[in-house]
Structure 1
């Protein structure tokens, strides 16, 4: 049996702007995982998730096609990852097999609460990773990112794919998104093998080292949010508010450039200053796009953290889910946590999943 893991993630800064190609974001991988297991089968294959036991699906092989017995299933990302990875295997001359694929996610709570940790990206990465081992396909992190990004994009249709990058690379990363129109054109004309070997326009993934005095804390608001729906809403106002939107994009890029320099210099104060600036930019975006990025409870979470001397903001698309706090390790966070608890804000006891712990194999 093959077993692989892919970590969840949280956005630190650069949200919304990173959807436009070439624009940067900072993302961190967390020590909660999606685990995929795969073992060969002689007859029927299965795709089983502990989270969706009542919706497990069964399939058989008809030539090189997977034929499904279940007509309705929740596993769109898994199926997309399977389809794409098997196309890659086929291009490399592998005989396609039948197997049992098991998926187990730690990224949502045991009672089904959604934390917004990028479960769809981690599921996609774990599935691709498991199948690459099953078929003994040549794979490194850049190829794994590209394969998982294509699979994820074909389902979600929008987004920057930064969550895929975090799940593949681990640790803290600076991510610049690639030109997705270029990719869609290339998908029509290029073999996957060639596409995975190409340089993708504007794609850049750099590992960051956080300052020793930086502590990351995560507060969960208790209300889930849909990233793709919020990104759709902002996309609708781009044409109408073109000037304001372009101003937001350029200000976000400048802010992230300064923040990345803060990581490179090991300067927590610079990082905190730019995190606050990024929050202000996102508030402006929310105002002119009429999208609620910072909900009242997220605002309370941030205010409590700022009063404790930390820098804080929403994470990801906002609208619910998590907020992140960057605080000096010398500051005792007990009063902050007590004030959070009184507002119904839960601290997620997560830590950073480091690069060394995130091998491809």
Structure 2
């Protein structure tokens, strides 16, 4: 039986720091939730000329690709629709990991990547960071398949490098959550500088260099507050909202500077509250973060706070929770931190009555916890040394 390596990575929710974290060096607090994307890598036996085969429960057909000077290309002679269906994040992961191996004069073999996602409802994304989760899971699975033992930070760095090859705009906060899990404090590096480094020096050099502005550390979970998640029922495009914000004249003037500074203070307050396990202070930080998003929306007319998200927050607040939209807004999810003595059942019932779908999500354990059976190499996979990339 061929070696089979299965790895998974969780989805995420933003607690504080949305939009500001897009700026290099600016912070956010993000949390990983217990819904996963799972990637299994095997040798591509009988691949009929393909070097890489990708199948996914979100694709109508498998995608077959061949390595070439310009990267992975859809195998000639196949249905042209398969080219349109090629999952960009998976393709970029394969190209990035294999470029690293090529730069280190290590061999490549035909591989199959099978992707399964729990981060969608009926094929519709819910705003839990599925692109980041699949990127991290694919980096881990492919690297382990090739016998490369990566540190947690190496996984994150390769995942972010794979991401910036597609779009240097996203902060990487969702990748940090998918990598470290639990509650995470994160400052974003300069992704444009990383992209320039990739183009000029390649993957190995850029991977090993210091990344200006980058910080990540795990935070303790709150012991007297429970995280609840409501779905607005409307998917939103973070990429489109972020791109739209960059075009707003208001953002380019005083709005931007004030928002960034206020967001930094809010994130710092949330971090302190988690470190000290102060529930009232954390609720205040969440409410402040919501107010910052409302103010940004009012000043830029971006459409961050929809009627559904507003209703989600108001209902949660009526139940004693601190609530806010999570992420870029415009749809997707909102979060509520509910004191332990308050009724979670009442919150779910009121959300449902208001047209908000409660999502049965929990927070993952942080890095270092038992990863579970889906994160272990299958028994037929060969062992390999630990502690270095080879």
Structure 1 length as normaliser, TM-score? Answer: 0.95
Question: Structure 1 240/17 Cα, relative in aligned 2: closer, same or farther at 3 Å?
Answer: closer
Q: Distance in 1 between matches of 2:177 and 2:74?
A: 31
- Contact residue 182 and residue 221 of structure 2 kept, 8 A: no
Q: Who is 1:56 aligned against?
A: 62
Alpha-carbon distance, 1:353 to partner: 1.2
* 2:93 maps to 1:81: yes
Question: Structure 1 325/357 Cα, relative in aligned 2: closer, same or farther at 3 Å?
Answer: farther
Point out the more displaced range, 68-77 or 223-232: 68-77
Give CA deviations for 1:32-73 in whole Å, capped at 9, x if unaligned.
Answer: 111111111344242100221x23211345699644224322
Alpha-carbon distance, 1:255 to partner: 1.1
Question: Structure 1 269/72 Cα, relative in aligned 2: closer, same or farther at 3 Å?
Answer: same
Please show how residues 12-161 of structure 1 align to structure 2 within 5 Å.
Answer: 12-44=15-47, 45-52=52-59, 54-60=60-66, 66-69=72-75, 70-109=82-121, 111-161=122-172
Question: Structure 1 338/68 Cα, relative in aligned 2: closer, same or farther at 3 Å?
Answer: same
Q: Distance in 2 between matches of 1:246 and 1:331?
A: 38
Alpha-carbon distance, 1:97 to partner: 0.5
Alpha-carbon distance, 1:251 to partner: 0.6
Q: Distance in 2 between matches of 1:357 and 1:351?
A: 16
Q: Who is 2:380 aligned against?
A: none
Q: Who is 1:4 aligned against?
A: 7
Q: Distance in 2 between matches of 1:60 and 1:199?
A: 33
Q: Who is 1:308 aligned against?
A: 319
- Contact residue 94 and residue 135 of structure 1 kept, 8 A: no
* 2:177 maps to 1:166: yes
Q: Distance in 2 between matches of 1:178 and 1:67?
A: 30
Q: Distance in 2 between matches of 1:240 and 1:177?
A: 19
- Contact residue 211 and residue 263 of structure 1 kept, 8 A: yes
Point out the more displaced range, 136-145 or 26-35: 136-145
Alpha-carbon distance, 1:134 to partner: 1.4
Q: Who is 2:272 aligned against?
A: 261
Alpha-carbon distance, 1:336 to partner: 2.1
Q: Who is 1:227 aligned against?
A: 238
Question: Structure 1 62/173 Cα, relative in aligned 2: closer, same or farther at 3 Å?
Answer: closer
Question: Structure 1 261/74 Cα, relative in aligned 2: closer, same or farther at 3 Å?
Answer: same
Q: Distance in 2 between matches of 1:19 and 1:67?
A: 31
Q: Give the secondary structure class of the aligned counterpart of 2:100.
A: helix
Q: Distance in 2 between matches of 1:42 and 1:335?
A: 53
Q: Give the secondary structure class of the aligned counterpart of 1:324.
A: strand
- Contact residue 38 and residue 101 of structure 1 kept, 8 A: yes
Give CA deviations for 1:322-359 in whole Å, capped at 9, x if unaligned.
Answer: 00001111111222221111111111001111121459
Give CA deviations for 1:173-223 in whole Å, capped at 9, x if unaligned.
Answer: 011111123212222332322222222101000100022111000001100
Please show how residues 185-334 of structure 1 align to structure 2 within 5 Å.
Answer: 185-237=196-248, 241-334=252-345
- Contact residue 156 and residue 228 of structure 1 kept, 8 A: no
Q: Distance in 1 between matches of 2:326 and 2:251?
A: 26
Structure 2 length as normaliser, TM-score? Answer: 0.88
- Contact residue 30 and residue 185 of structure 2 kept, 8 A: yes
RMSD, matched Cα: 1.9
Question: Structure 1 175/65 Cα, relative in aligned 2: closer, same or farther at 3 Å?
Answer: closer
Q: Distance in 1 between matches of 2:112 and 2:252?
A: 49
Q: Give the secondary structure class of the aligned counterpart of 2:37.
A: strand
**Selected match of 1:184 from 168, 175, 195:** 195
- Contact residue 17 and residue 23 of structure 1 kept, 8 A: yes
Aligned residues: 359
